[in-house]
C-alpha cells in the first residue's frame, strides 16, 4: 500500500529507511555486488511498493511494513559512492542513523549466509565505507555472503554472476533478508539480530 509520494521531514520520527547497495546499469543486474539491489526489489514486490521514483541520486519507493512507514532506496551512484545518495536522504529527512538499514554483499561470508549488525566498521566494503564517510558508522547493516574468489581478483569477482548451484541458495537468502528487515522494522534491531544471526 503506497502513501503520499512526497514524504517530508514530519515523517522522520517514525520513518525507517532501507538502502540496498549495487551498481546501476543492465550489465550489473544479478551480479554478486548487486545483492542489495536484488533484496530491495524482492522487498518492494512483497510489500507492494513501486520502487521507481528518482530522488536523492537513487531509485526510491515509499510504503509500509505493518504500520511502520518505510522508504526503500537503490543508490544510482555506483557502490563505491553510495554515501553521496545516503547523505542526501539523511540530510532531507533528518532520520537518526539507527533507523537506516543498509543491505550489501560480503566476501567474507559463505554464499547465502546473512549477518546483521547494529553498527560497526566497513569490513573492507567500499560502499559501507562511503556511507560512513558521509553520515557516520552508526547505522545497522545486513550483509549477505557471496563467497570468496578462488582465482579471480576480488574486484572482478564481485562483478560476476552467481553460478547455477548458487542461485537457489541466494534466492532463499534474499527471502530471509526480507524477513529480517520486516523483523527489524517491526520489533527492532536486537530482536532481529537474535533471530537471524
pLDDT per position as a tens digit, 1-49: 333 344 444 445 689 999 999 999 999 999 999 999 999 999 999 999 9
Q: Choose the CATH number for 9-196 among 3.40.50.620, 3.40.50.1470, 3.40.50.150, 3.30.420.40.
A: 3.40.50.1470
* Per annotation, catalytic residue among 33, 125, 133, 161: 33
Quick count: other Cβ atoms within 10 Å of Cβ 24? 17
| DSSP letters spanning 139-153 | S-EEEEE----SSS-
Q: Determine the pLDDT at residue 1.
A: 31
Mean pLDDT along residues 124-145: 96
Catalytic residue status for 179: no
Q: Is the pLDDT of residue 52 over 50?
A: yes
Whole-Å CA distances, 147 to 56, 120, 163: 31, 21, 11
Amino acid at each position: 500500500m503506497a502513501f503520499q509520494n512526497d514524504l517530508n521531514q514530519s515523517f522522520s520520527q517514525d520513518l525507517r529507511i532501507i538502502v540496498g547497495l549495487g551498481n546501476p546499469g543492465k550489465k550489473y543486474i544479478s551480479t554478486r555486488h548487486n545483492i542489495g539491489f536484488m533484496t530491495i526489489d524482492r522487498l518492494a514486490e512483497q510489500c507492494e511498493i513501486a520502487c521507481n521514483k528518482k530522488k536523492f541520486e537513487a531509485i526510491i519507493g515509499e510504503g509500509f511494513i505493518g504500520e511502520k512507514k518505510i522508504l526503500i532506496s537503490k543508490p544510482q551512484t555506483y557502490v563505491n559512492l553510495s554515501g553521496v545518495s545516503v547523505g542526501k536522504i539523511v540530510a532531507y529527512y533528518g532520520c537518526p542513523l539507527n533507523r537506516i538499514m543498509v543491505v550489501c554483499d560480503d566476501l567474507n561470508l559463505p554464499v547465502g549466509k546473512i549477518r546483521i549488525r547494529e553498527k560497526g566498521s566497513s569490513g573492507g566494503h567500499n560502499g559501507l565505507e562511503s556511507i560512513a564517510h558521509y553520515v557516520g558508522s552508526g547505522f545497522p547493516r545486513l550483509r549477505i555472503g557471496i563467497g570468496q574468489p578462488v582465482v579471480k581478483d576480488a574486484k572482478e569477482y564481485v562483478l560476476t554472476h552467481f553460478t547455477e548451484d548458487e542461485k537457489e541458495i541466494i534466492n532463499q537468502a534474499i527471502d530471509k533478508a526480507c524477513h529480517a528487515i520486516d523483523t527489524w522494522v517491526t520489533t527492532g534491531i536486537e530482536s532481529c539480530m537474535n533471530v537471524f544471526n
